[in-house]
Structure 1
Amino acid sequence: MAVFEYSGLTASGKKKSGIIDAENPDAAQDELKLKGIFPTSILRIESGAGRIKTGEVPSKEKAFTLPAVFSSVKSSEITMITRQLATLLAAGFPLLKAVATLVPQARSKVFKRVLSRVKDAIEEGNSFADALGAHPQVFSAVYINMVKAGEASGTLEVVLERLADFNEKREDTKKKIQASLAYPVLMAAIGFLVLVFLLTFIVPNITKIFTDMNHELPMPTQILLSISGLVQSWWWLIIPSPFLALLGLYAIRKTDKGGWILDRIILSLPIFGSLNRQLIASRFSRTLGSLLDNGVPLLTALGITKTISGNRVITQLIEKAAQTVEQGGSLGSVLEKNSAFPDLAAQMIKVGEKSGEMEKMLEKSAELFERNVQTVVTAATSIIEPLIILVMGVVIGFIILAVCLPIFEINQIIG
């Protein structure tokens, strides 16, 4: 039985689309007509499938190609489906039926196609983890390995529930940080654009009066005129310069050597470096703890966590730690010796190793650093906002002073 995505019209002319299971396109078309839906197109969702227009005579020999999945799937949608799948399995649904039930529940067409392929793979006798592993662009290595461990231990519904919790906590932390930084970034961007506008269009018109008088201008006015002339000539390059700089840093970070140097610099920055180290430590602790708690071996778990650190320096450190663990050494001892990793996190891991409660200590470590990160970000934004206002006030004050000084001098001469 194959899965088809259809678009069509009801008897009242209302557009309708969705997913349907059928033996072939003809059967899908007949079943839709019985439901009062007249299909305008039918897309078979599996390898070697394609679009068949209503009225075509389908042929078994006809081969179609489904375009590759380019669009990404939102993490929130994966979390929602994961929790629903855990609920269905806990209610006694067989895995295949549970996945098939959730295919129409997916919001995006991309995710519907992925879930349909996963369902087909399970139907062909593949394990759930292997079926998910065929879509690494949607399901992360952490997700796949935790599912594999859940299948091996017979606790798949429990693992899926934990995965949903894991993703929700990670997304919650991410959203809180983004929400805290959104306002200061918006203020800085608007302030930058306003300043460029003033120096390009307003200031030249005001100061033109003074330059036409052939009178020696005060130093602040001369500086303002120089800056204004520079901005007026190069505004087309100055406005996109922050974006070009970010694009350049992104390109450099894509290279191995450049990326390693930038990652080292980021970790060495006074405030942002410490914040980044704590954020990486919380991500590392939560991911490693979740994997270990679901039966994934430590070496395998370390191999997965190194890919989600987002920092080449930390990745190298985790690789070194994995080699030490493989030789019988202590994970916490290796992390403790490197300043790139927070000392408190390393100490908590050592305590977990000695007490045999590594998973609990990693969970506590993750919660601790997540709280610290949120506290630091909140405190930083509370300082950044008035700081931006202060800087803008100083700049505007300088512009007003530079414009007013020549006026005062002219008044004195006239007087």
Structure 2
Amino acid sequence: MPIFTCKIGTSDGKIIAREYDAVSADLLRQTLEDQGLTVFELRKKPLQFLLEKGGRRRRISAKDLLLFNQELLVLLKAGLPILQALDTILESEGGKLNEVLSMVREDVKGGMPLSVAFERHPRVFPHLYIASIQAGERTGDLPQTIRRYIAFLKRTEGFRGKIIAAMFYPAILITVAAAAISLLLVYVVPTFSQIYAESGSALPVPTQMLINFTGFLRHYLLVFIGIGFLAAGAFRRWKETESGRFAVDRMKVKAPFIGPIATRYAVAGFTRTLSTVLGSGIPIVEALRMSVGTLNNRVLERGLLSAVIRVEEGSKLSVALESIKLMPPLALRMLSVGETTGSMEEMLSDISDYFEDEIERNLQVLTTAIEPAIMIVMGVVIGTIIVTMYLPIFKIAGTVG
């Protein structure tokens, strides 16, 4: 997500500069103004890809954040004040969070609310998490808010783990197939070509074409690798631009078979996030704006932002989402029932479960089809290479016979 540098004015008259992750400048400006802040300056931070590559963006994994929240929840439930809970966590074994938590502790000790202390480290604590803590402070039930966020992290990370596991075996097959074909082209074919060259006999056209191809490949291999790196770098730079990111995200959505899975995955994350945020007591419009970024797709985000405007104007969420065709009719009916019965939080969670089940079924079909397809393609390619290289031997054997 892009980083924006902001100069903002607070309600007590202070002017401060901070950095935020946001989907777009317009959405960030709207979110800050909804929080009662005055935005004087907002600009995108330049050369962000260099900062990411150099590791200067300090981030923590979802696992570290989950562990921290589990410890914090146990200590708060035991009746410890926030400051003592932070002291106890800092006294335990060191981790990636300790440096940041030390600064958070000092801010809390100086009288700053926990959410504001977290907000000073937007690279470390996600905006969704900070907003949840703010909601917990407003309602006076911080442990319940943290418990809800822990459940959200466990579910989202568990589902992401299933996706990775489903694609792991096909990735291994593709890697092995590519290695086997590369070995044949770079080592086996040149060995045969040297033997045939020493014999001086005329080679069949397919064999000669394969030998010429492998010779060309070996001669210009470093050039191809260099071009590949340059193309990858240029593509990454282009993808960082707004138009490039939009074009890539459109291809993801429009891709056959993969597109619907990617869309369902994005919507599953969005609905689960929205359910968590609404359960924390955050108003619907603010919750929607906070949840937009979880789609991680410019095409879907643009459509959802138009739906958010309709909700802001008084439309029902189900009607607004129906207008952008983001969800299937069944999910929209479920959402409409949730709005009618006042149980939208639970219904959004059920919709997320529905999408996740659909994704698991689709991935199972995809991986089941991919595995034999990879084996067949690998067998055909390797078999063709081997038969092509043995054609001269078959020809000699036929002549002798």
Residue 375 of structure 2 is aligned to residue 411 of structure 1: no
- Other structure's SS at 1:270 match: coil
Q: Which moved more, 1:366-375 or 1:132-141?
A: 366-375
2:194 counterpart (187, 193, 208): 208
User: Which residue matches 1:325?
Assistant: 311
Output the CA distance in 2 between the equivalents of 1:162 and 1:384. Answer: 38
Amino acid at match of 1:79: L
Q: Look up the match of 2:19.
A: none
- Aligned partners of 2:230 and 2:369: how far apart in 1? 27
Matched, 1:187 2:169: no
1:104/1:112 contact within 8 Å kept: no
Q: 1:251 to 1:297 in 2, by over 3 A?
A: same
What CA distance in whole angstroms lies between the structure 2 residues aligned with 1:308 and 1:192? Answer: 34
The one-letter code sitting in structure 2 at the alignment partner of 1:281 is V
Contact 2:269 2:295 (8 Å CA) reproduced: yes
Written as runs of structure 1 = structure 2, the 5 A alignment for 1:122-271 is 122-213=108-199, 215-238=201-224, 247-271=233-257
Measured against aligned partners, the alpha-carbon deviations of 1:12-47 in whole angstroms (never above 9, x if no partner) come to: xxxxxxxxxxxxxxxxxxxxxxxxxxxxxxxxxxxx
Q: Distance in 1 between matches of 2:75 and 2:228?
A: 49
Structure 2 unaligned runs (5+)? 1-54
Residues 78 and 308 (structure 1), Cα distance of their counterparts in 2 relative to 1, 3 Å cut: same
CA offsets, 1:233-268, max 9 Å, x none? 233355687776655443332110111111111101
CA contact (8 A) 2:295 2:301 kept: yes
The whole-number CA distance in structure 2 between the counterparts of 1:242 and 1:164 is: 42
Residue in 1 that maps onto 2:76: 89
Which residue does the alignment assign to 1:13?
none
Q: How far off its partner does 1:271 sit?
A: 1.2
- SS at 2:124's partner residue? coil
Give the length in aligned residue pairs. Answer: 347
Question: 1:314–1:341: 8 Å Cα contact kept in structure 2?
Answer: no
Q: For residues 229 and 406 of structure 1, what CA distance do their matches in structure 2 show?
A: 18
**CA 1:212–1:337 in 2, change beyond 3 Å: closer, same or farther?**
farther
Residue matched to 1:79 = 66
Could you tell me whether the CA contact under 8 Å between 1:313 and 1:340 is conserved in 2?
A: no
Structure 1 pair 107–187 and aligned structure 2 pair: CA distance change class (3 A): farther
Aligned positions of 1:33-72 closer than 5 A = 70-72=57-59
Contact 2:307-2:324 within 8 A present in 1 as well: no
Whole-angstrom distance in 1 between the partners of 2:227 and 2:344: 47
Separation of aligned partners in 2, 1:390 and 1:72: 42
Q: SS in structure 2 opposite 1:137?
A: coil
- Given candidates 85, 90, 104, the residue that maps to 1:103 is 90
Find the aligned partners of 1:106 and 1:277 in 2 and give their Cα distance: 40
Q: Distance in 1 between matches of 2:93 and 2:294?
A: 26
Matching residue's letter, 2:118: L
1:181-203: per-residue Cα shift (whole Å, max 9, x none)? 12221321232133222212210
Q: CA deviation digits over 1:97-124, x for unaligned, max 9?
A: 111111233642x310111111111111
Most deviating of 343-352 and 163-172? 343-352
1:101-153 Cα offsets, whole Å, 9 max, x none, are 11233642x31011111111111111111111111111111101111111100
- State the distance in 2 between where 1:381 and 1:249 align: 28
Larger CA deviation: 322-331 vs 224-233: 224-233
1:373-409, CA deviations, whole angstroms, 9 ceiling, x for partnerless residues? 2232233223222222221111110011101211111
1:391 corresponding residue in structure 2: 377
Q: TM-score, structure 2 length as denominator? A: 0.80
Structure 2 Cα separation of the partners of residues 339 and 196 of structure 1: 45
Deviation, structure 1 residue 308: 1.9
Partner SS for 1:93: coil
Q: Is the 8 A contact 2:311 2:320 kept in 1?
A: no
Written as runs of structure 1 = structure 2, the 5 A alignment for 1:3-42 is none
C-alpha offsets along residues 58-90 of structure 1, whole Å, 9 cap, x if unaligned? xxxxxxxxxx97442121111111012111111
Structure ranking higher on relative contact order (CA contacts 8 Å, 6+ apart): 2
Change (3 A) 1:305 1:245: farther
TM-score by length of 1: 0.78
Contact 2:307–2:323, Cα closer than 8 Å, also in 1: no
In structure 1, the gaps of 5 or more residues are 1-67
Q: Within 1, Cα distance between the matches of 2:92 and 2:331?
A: 40
User: For residues 70 and 312 of structure 1, do their structure 2 counterparts lie closer, same or farther at Cα, with a shift above 3 Å needed?
Assistant: closer
Cα 1:223–1:350 shift into 2, 3 Å:
farther
User: Residues 366, 168 of structure 1: CA spacing in aligned structure 2 closer, same or farther, 3 A cutoff?
Assistant: same
Give the CA deviation at 1:351.
2.8
Aligned to 2:39: none
**Identity of matched residues, %:** 31
Separation in 2 of the partners of 1:240 and 1:195? 21
The 2-side partners of 1:373 and 1:242 are apart by: 33
> In structure 2, how many angstroms separate the alpha carbons of the residues matched to 1:186 and 1:237?
27
State which drifts further: 340-349 or 198-207: 340-349
Could you tell which deviates more after superposition, 372-381 or 151-160? Answer: 372-381
Pair 1:80–1:333, CA change in 2 (3 A)? same
Aligned with 1:97: secondary structure?
helix
The counterpart of 1:337, out of the listed 290, 305, 323, is: 323
